[in-house]
Chains A and B, each alone.
Chain A
Amino acid sequence: MAAVTLTNVVKRFGVYEVVHGADIDIADGEFVVFVGPSGCGKSTLLRMIAGLEDISGGKIAIGGKVVNDVEPADRGIAMVFQSYALYPHMTVEQNLSFGLRMNGNPKADTERRVKRAAEILRIDELMQRRPKQLSGGQRQRVAIGRAIVREPQVFLFDEPLSNLDAELRVQMRVEISRLHKELGVTMVYVTHDQTEAMTLADRIVVLKAGNVEQIGAPLDLYDDPANRFVAGFIGSPKMNFLGAKVVETSNSAAIIELVNHGGVKLHKPLREAFPAVGAEVVLGVRPEHFFEAGEGDCDIPVKADVAEHLGSVSYVYANAGPEELIVEREASRQRASGDHFTVSIKAERSLLFDKAGARIR
Chain B
Amino acid sequence: MRTQNATAYRFLTPYLLIFAIFWIWPIISSFLISFQATRTVPWRFAPTFNWGRLIGDPAFYNALKNTLLILVIQVPVMISLAIVMAVLLNSPLLKARGLYRFAFFAPVVVGEVAYSAVFRLMFSLDFGIINKLLNSVGIPKVDWFSNVTPAMALIMIAVTWRWAGYNAIIILAGLQSIPEDVYEAATLDRVSRLRQFFHITLPLLKPVIVFCAVLSIIGTMQLFTEPFLITERGGPGGGTETLGLLLYRQGFRSLNFGYASAVAYTMAGLAIAITLVQLWLTRDPK
The answer on a CB contact under 8 Å between A89 and B190 is: no
Q: Which of A77, A86, A89 sits near B188, CB closer than 8 Å? A: A77
Which of B179, B184, B204 has most A Cβ within 10 Å? B184
Interface digits, B181-194 against A, CB 8 Å rule (1 contact, 0 not)? 11011111111000
The answer on a CB contact under 8 Å between A99 and B190 is: yes
Which of B189, B200, B204 has most A Cβ within 10 Å? B189
CB contacts (< 8 Å) of B204 on chain A: these are: 88-89
Determine if A79 is an interface residue (Cβ-Cβ < 8 Å).
yes
Alpha-carbon distance A57/B178, docked complex (angstroms): 31
The answer on a CB contact under 8 Å between A52 and B200 is: no
CB within 8 Å of B: which A61-94 residues: 71-74, 77-79, 81, 83, 85-89
The answer on a CB contact under 8 Å between B200 and A87 is: yes
CB contacts (< 8 Å) of B187 on chain A: these are: 52, 72-73
The answer on a CB contact under 8 Å between A83 and B179 is: yes
Determine if A50 is an interface residue (Cβ-Cβ < 8 Å).
yes
Interface residues on A, range: 20 to 34
CB contacts (< 8 Å) of B199 on chain A: these are: 98, 102
Chain B contact surface mostly = helix
The answer on a CB contact under 8 Å between A85 and B184 is: yes
Determine if B10 is an interface residue (Cβ-Cβ < 8 Å).
no
Q: How far is the CB of B269 from chain A (nearest CB, A)?
A: 33
CB contacts (< 8 Å) of A79 on chain B: these are: 184-185, 188
CB contacts (< 8 Å) of A81 on chain B: these are: 181, 184-185
Chain A residue nearest to B191 (CB atoms) is A102
CB within 8 Å of A: which B120-148 residues: none
Determine if A103 is an interface residue (Cβ-Cβ < 8 Å).
yes
Whether A99 contacts B189 in the complex (CB less than 8 A), given A87-B200, A88-B204, A89-B203, comes out as yes
Chain B residue nearest to A158 (CB atoms) is B181
Whether A52 contacts B182 in the complex (CB less than 8 A), given A89-B203, A102-B195, comes out as no
Q: Which of B182, B191, B203 sits near A99, CB closer than 8 Å? A: B191
CB contacts (< 8 Å) of B191 on chain A: these are: 98-99, 102
Whether A98 contacts B188 in the complex (CB less than 8 A), given A85-B181, A85-B182, A88-B204, comes out as no
Alpha-carbon distance A52/B184, docked complex (angstroms): 7
Whether A98 contacts B203 in the complex (CB less than 8 A), given A81-B181, A83-B179, comes out as no
Q: How far is the CB of B285 from chain A (nearest CB, A)?
A: 10
CB within 8 Å of B: which A319-359 residues: none
Determine if A150 is an interface residue (Cβ-Cβ < 8 Å).
yes
Q: Which of B179, B184, B189, B206 sits near A98, CB closer than 8 Å? A: B189
The answer on a CB contact under 8 Å between A83 and B189 is: no
Interface residues on B, range: 10 to 19
Q: How far is the CB of B202 from chain A (nearest CB, A)?
A: 10
Q: How far is the CB of A91 from chain B (nearest CB, A)?
A: 10
Alpha-carbon distance A89/B204, docked complex (angstroms): 7
CB contacts (< 8 Å) of B206 on chain A: these are: 89
Chain A residue nearest to B185 (CB atoms) is A85
CB contacts (< 8 Å) of A85 on chain B: these are: 179, 181-182, 184-185
CB contacts (< 8 Å) of B179 on chain A: these are: 83, 85
Chain A residue nearest to B192 (CB atoms) is A102
Q: How far is the CB of A154 from chain B (nearest CB, A)?
A: 12
Determine if A203 is an interface residue (Cβ-Cβ < 8 Å).
no
Determine if A146 is an interface residue (Cβ-Cβ < 8 Å).
yes
Alpha-carbon distance A228/B252, docked complex (angstroms): 86
Q: How far is the CB of A276 from chain B (nearest CB, A)?
A: 53
The answer on a CB contact under 8 Å between B203 and A83 is: no
Interface digits, A36-74 against B, CB 8 Å rule (1 contact, 0 not)? 000000000000001110000000000000000001111
Q: How far is the CB of A180 from chain B (nearest CB, A)?
A: 20
Q: How far is the CB of B281 from chain A (nearest CB, A)?
A: 17
CB contacts (< 8 Å) of A78 on chain B: these are: 188
CB contacts (< 8 Å) of A89 on chain B: these are: 200, 203-204, 206
Alpha-carbon distance A109/B118, docked complex (angstroms): 62
The answer on a CB contact under 8 Å between A102 and B184 is: no
Q: Which 5 A-B pairs have the closest CB atoms?
A: A99-B189, A73-B190, A85-B181, A85-B185, A89-B203
A-B contact pairs, 30 of them (CB 8 A): A51-B188, A52-B188, A71-B190, A72-B187, A73-B188, A73-B189, A77-B188, A78-B188, A79-B184, A81-B181, A83-B179, A85-B179, A85-B182, A85-B184, A86-B182, A87-B185, A89-B203, A89-B204, A98-B189, A98-B199, A99-B188, A99-B189, A99-B190, A99-B191, A102-B191, A102-B195, A102-B199, A103-B189, A146-B189, A150-B189
Question: B residues bordering A, Cβ < 8 Å?
Answer: 179, 181-182, 184-191, 195, 199-200, 203-204, 206
